[in-house]
Amino acid sequence: MARQRTTTSSTPRTIAESRVTGRNEPTQEQIRQRAFEIYILRGGRPGSPQEDWCRAERELREALNGKPS
């Protein structure tokens, strides 16, 4: 029988968790998730992964620092 591996991470996964921990920078995971959301919102059509990443990073930083997007 295989054992399930569980991991715990101190890395915030959401904007709310980042605020609680005092982080003002989004994590790579948060950026990756938001960039994927942007791709999905585009209907999964081809685009620029780099532009999606930069947009995601910018939006998340603004959300963490309380700036309007």
pLDDT band at 55 (very low <50, low <70, confident <90, very high): very high
How would you classify residue 31: left for phi > 0, otherwise alpha for psi between -120 and 50, otherwise beta? alpha
Instruction: Write down the residue that tokens 């960039």 correspond to.
Output: 35
Kindly list the distances between the CA atom of residue 43 and the CA atoms of 3, 38, 40, 52, in Å, as whole numbers in the listed order: 39, 9, 5, 13
Q: Pick the range with the lowest mean pLDDT from 10-14, 27-31, 48-52, 53-57.
A: 10-14
Over residues 20-37, the pLDDT tens digits come to 456 689 999 999 999 999
Q: Is 15:24 a contact under the CB 8 Å cutoff?
A: no
